[in-house]
Structure 1
């Protein structure tokens, strides 16, 4: 009985440590709010795991690049992709591609955000996707580059699900785009609450 109690105490301590670590991450990680037609999505980013990717994403955010772009490729049970086209499917001009950082220990789990790219591993620019399921087949390794995870949805996964539930198929060139465009109205950094005393 004593051993069972000790084991329970150890497990409880590990769970508390994990929760504390997640809380610290949530407090200290850079955050971005995506205000969309269907609600707001709050992202927490991983600059320690994907520094160049996070820097690239924040550069687009700070420039207002994502304002007015849409989720142009949405596949229920897989992912919702956006960040490259306006509501009339005009492609925006991108910055130079960012180096692939997919071998960073992060997995394309449900709720994570990752960079979209072509078959060239180092071709990611502005487009990103939010995983709607655990898509570990997209993960990278030292032997095979994958899709770089650089953050996760902190709040608003229900909004992502609403985007995924939108009817699709109206646009021949973009068959996975919602029939009614879902825009990112505004993408902005969210100031962190440092817990300091006010003036």
Structure 2
């Protein structure tokens, strides 16, 4: 599902990062947890700064559970094809990543709580297999706390998250700092 090489991001986490995620349905602001999940925050920020997420589609929607995106396989696909689960030019949605993996932090993150609006990283069966795919919790999902790394909490735009479906677009992700 994801790449196999463990990667250490070069992005230097300041600890006050906020992800401003512009979607086709509106804007979501997420305070990132650089102290609890520094590898995940650095990885997400690094990908965002390089435009990795721009133009990708959300590819998985499970009502009352999660909305998931961040798969580069969806970049050159229509929203309709993503929603239908069709394979695109780069492969089936949900199977792509950045070509590497990052170390899981769910066991060491004291803030690893899948609350409503939590931002967490998807992975395969290997605990160290996260790469670029992320999800928002649609309600509390504490059954995921012991196996998936939470690296942010939504502070604005939960209404946007609740309307997102497979095929909706991630227009742009910008990393700002809390005082901005």
Q: TM-score, normalised by structure 1?
A: 0.69
Q: Secondary structure at the match of 1:55?
A: helix
| Structure 2 CA distance for aligned equivalents of residues 63 and 98 of structure 1 | 17
For these two proteins, the number of residue pairs brought into alignment is: 147
Residue 36 of structure 1: which of 23, 42, 45 is its match? 23
| Structure 2 CA distance for aligned equivalents of residues 157 and 87 of structure 1 | 27
Q: TM-score, normalised by structure 2?
A: 0.76
Which structure has more relative contact order (CA 8 Å, sep 6+)? It is 2
Q: Secondary structure at the match of 1:125?
A: coil
C-alpha contact (below 8 Å) 1:109/1:134 kept by paired residues: yes
User: Which of the pair is proportionally richer in helix?
Assistant: 1
Q: Secondary structure at the match of 1:47?
A: coil
Unaligned runs of 5+ in 2: 1-14, 78-87
**Structure of higher CA gyration radius:** 1
Q: Shift in Å at residue 29 of structure 1?
A: 2.6
CA RMSD of aligned residues (A): 1.6
Per-residue CA deviations over 1:128-161 (Å, capped at 9, x if unaligned) read: 0000011111112xxxxx0000001110000001
Q: Shift in Å at residue 192 of structure 1?
A: 3.4
Q: Shift in Å at residue 35 of structure 1?
A: 0.6
Residue 125 of structure 1: which of 119, 126, 131 is its match? 131
